[in-house]
Amino acid sequence: MAQTMKAVRGTRDLLPLETELWNRIEAIARQVFARYNFGEIRTPIFEDTGLFARSVGEETDIVSKEMYTWSDGERFNEQRIIEEWKKANETDDPAHTQAGRINVQGNPKFLAKLNELGVQLQVWRGVQVRPNLLSGYVELVSFRPGVSADAIDRLTRARELAKSDPESQIQHFAVRLRLVIPMEGDLGAWIDKKDVIVEPLAGRFFDSAQSLTLRPENTAGVVRAYIEHGLGESGQLQKLYYIGPQFRRERPQKGRYRQFWQIGAEVIGPPSSGSESALRDAEVLEMLATLLQELKIEGWTLELNSVGSAADRAKYNDVLRAALVDVAAKMCGDCQRRAVTNPLRVLDCKVPEDQPIIEKLPKIGDSLGQDSKDHFAQVTAALDAAGVPYKLNQRLVRGLDYYTRTTFEFTHGGLGAQNALLGGGRYDGLSEAIGGPKAPGIGFAIGLDRLVLTLQAQKSTVLETITVETKSDVFIAPVGKAQNPSALALARDLRNSGLRVELGDGAFRLSKSFEFGDKLARSIVLLGEDELAASILTVKNFMMRVQKKIPYGGLRSQPETSSAQESIERQINVFTQWLQLVAALTTDWTVENIPRPGHGLYDYHWRVISGEPPKILDYISLDKEDIGLSDEKRREILGRRFIALTKGKQVPV
């Protein structure tokens, strides 16, 4: 038996029930972003490796160890080698081929066949027979990145074709074969070249390889796009959000994957747009608090810090490096290395024995210049005013090099070791670092996988509503195979009106249809031969435990009506049946058409009745214009309106 294949370590599949929750979360996030006037941006999943090296930073863990990077193979430039070869061989006398030189020839129709075989040229090559007599022969020439058995084989086949195909017009000529490859191409030492002449040509015929990387994060890509499309030229603040997968080759564990998802946002613009203002920082943080609140995530902590300007950071790095000289020897191996390469990273250390030492190291707050201090004070003042709680954490320096001034993380106790639900901060110099104009910015990224874990741990109400909706509204059960086509027609009608429909199969026994129907849907419609003949559907509502026969002519093509009045009556009838069917499927209501009361804005009326003794729940009214709509259109508009009404009053499963 063939070995079974599994998802790659650190990646996983999300199946329908879980994706339902993901979609909900994403929908809520999109709604919140819309209220803050953010627009969506989608950048490619891979970028030039240099982008990440220059933004996230070469010394960071992400860039130095965790990226999926590959060289996007050197590309053979076929056009260039053909041009160069022709230049070197073609005669400048088009009428007469000089000895050893070529004329490019061939019947275009036959050339197309040659091209299909990977043979690009047919040439006439001159041979000096006697001092005054020039003769020649035909050469078929193929240009390839290297010698391969395939290339030899195709050239040989091309010659066979030239000899046999009248369109070649060279059936009676001597035909030689030539394979031109770049000098540095594979000479195919072990390949039988038969009688093919192999000609290595000097020159550059490979376009150099590009180093590409699966994005480990999306801020770099967004800022690259901001620069590439000149988004700053509008003079306005750009507010962009994204939802998508990111890739880091980390050790997988709970809440840490190699392909994970982020919901993120960036606020960026020229300084004149207000992009540097502390109010932007506070607004972004306030938006996050609102988003978490709407997602019903409880118990988060906002940890906040300022890492200062680039100059402040450099100063602190020196202070820290000096302070570490005496104590590094007592710390873990990682810290000893970091003390030299990237002292700031020491603050991320989680080794318990190192903590007392780290606590005594100089604090970044003491290295901040007055500007940075003022900026940070404005951020916290605005958060205080808006009532967003936070905790100052001077060790929060974050694992990416582009940060300046405000940095933050929202942590959650329910997540275990990987407790950062989201992280972000300001990056005032990032645009310039990747060749763009000055464009200060601030943003964040939420770990969507971790958000889901938190919600699942919380048994959130968002989750509960999802279990309810796993059931369809109706299961349509054709009683025999002959009813399958009508079943599809009914399913199409109901689905067009917004109902969620599961379609059974006439091959199922009735007991199986009922078993499936009960499991998958709130109600079942039986569609048998008799039902179709009598235009009556049998509807069983599992929730209400009632079975009803509903007259329903909707499955039959309607006879052409003679008068306008008859047509309206028929349409009222169709619509009444339609309402009755939907009511029976989803509720215990009945619906009846009532005569025109003689006043009011509308022309036609129905009432919705429920219970014993019957009580009127609601009225439905239509305009003349509405009733004149095509069946399909009417069902779409009115069916949906009615269904929305029934959904609002449905009994939960």
Binding site for ligand HAM (CB under 6 A): 217, 219, 248, 250, 255-257, 260, 262, 264, 266, 399-400, 420-425, 443-445, 447, 449-450
79 by Cβ neighbours in 10 Å (0-12 / 13-18 / 19+) ranks as: exposed
| 613 preceded by a cis bond (ω within 30 of 0) | yes
CB of 324 to ligand HAM, least distance (A): 24
CB-wise, 122 or 219, nearer to ligand HAM?
A: 219
CB-wise, 288 or 574, nearer to ligand HAM?
A: 288
User: Contact 280/295 with Cβ under 8 angstroms?
Assistant: no
CB of 445 to ligand HAM, least distance (A): 4
Token digits for 225? 């796009």
Virtual CA dihedral for 584, 585, 587, 588, nearest 10 degrees? 30
CB-wise, 55 or 497, nearer to ligand HAM?
A: 55
Token digits for 377? 């004070």
Residue 382 to residue 262: CA distance in whole angstroms: 27
∠ Cα 180 186 188 (to 5°): 90
Residue 223 to residue 268: CA distance in whole angstroms: 8
CB-wise, 242 or 316, nearer to ligand HAM?
A: 242
CB of 298 to ligand HAM, least distance (A): 17
In sequence order, what DSSP letters do the residues of 300-356 get, joined into one string?
Answer: EEEEEEE---HHHHHHHHHHHHHHHHHHGGGS-HHHHHHHHH-GGGGGG---GGGHH
Virtual CA dihedral for 578, 581, 583, 588, nearest 10 degrees? 150
CB of 276 to ligand HAM, least distance (A): 15
Token digits for 312? 């402040």
CB-wise, 423 or 554, nearer to ligand HAM?
A: 423
Residue 163 to residue 177: CA distance in whole angstroms: 13
CB-wise, 250 or 334, nearer to ligand HAM?
A: 250
CB of 112 to ligand HAM, least distance (A): 51
CB of 413 to ligand HAM, least distance (A): 14
Q: Is the Cα torsion angle 507, 511, 514, 515 positive or negative in sign?
A: negative
CB of 227 to ligand HAM, least distance (A): 16
User: Contact 635/493 with Cβ under 8 angstroms?
Assistant: yes
Residue 579 to residue 638: CA distance in whole angstroms: 9
| Helices (H), ranges, 473-593 | 484-496, 510-520, 529-534, 564-586
CB-wise, 180 or 422, nearer to ligand HAM?
A: 422
CB-wise, 215 or 522, nearer to ligand HAM?
A: 215
CB-wise, 119 or 442, nearer to ligand HAM?
A: 442
265 by Cβ neighbours in 10 Å (0-12 / 13-18 / 19+) ranks as: buried
Residue 521 to residue 595: CA distance in whole angstroms: 35
Rounded alpha-carbon distances, angstroms, from residue 66 to 244, 251, 533: 18, 9, 67
How far does Cα 636 stand from its chain's mean position? 30
CB-wise, 78 or 250, nearer to ligand HAM?
A: 250
Token digits for 63? 């860039």
CB of 443 to ligand HAM, least distance (A): 3
Tell me the residue nearest to ligand HAM as measured from the CB: 447
Indicate the residue type of 296. Answer: K
CB of 402 to ligand HAM, least distance (A): 8
CB of 194 to ligand HAM, least distance (A): 54
CB-wise, 350 or 599, nearer to ligand HAM?
A: 350
CB of 419 to ligand HAM, least distance (A): 9
CB of 250 to ligand HAM, least distance (A): 5
CB of 631 to ligand HAM, least distance (A): 50
CB-wise, 10 or 203, nearer to ligand HAM?
A: 10
Residue 429 to residue 439: CA distance in whole angstroms: 7
CB-wise, 343 or 425, nearer to ligand HAM?
A: 425
User: Contact 256/416 with Cβ under 8 angstroms?
Assistant: no
**Which of 246, 249, 301, 524 lies closest to 414 in space, CA to CA?**
301
CB of 52 to ligand HAM, least distance (A): 11
CB-wise, 288 or 479, nearer to ligand HAM?
A: 288
Count of alpha carbons within 13 Å of 447, Cβ hemisphere only? Answer: 26
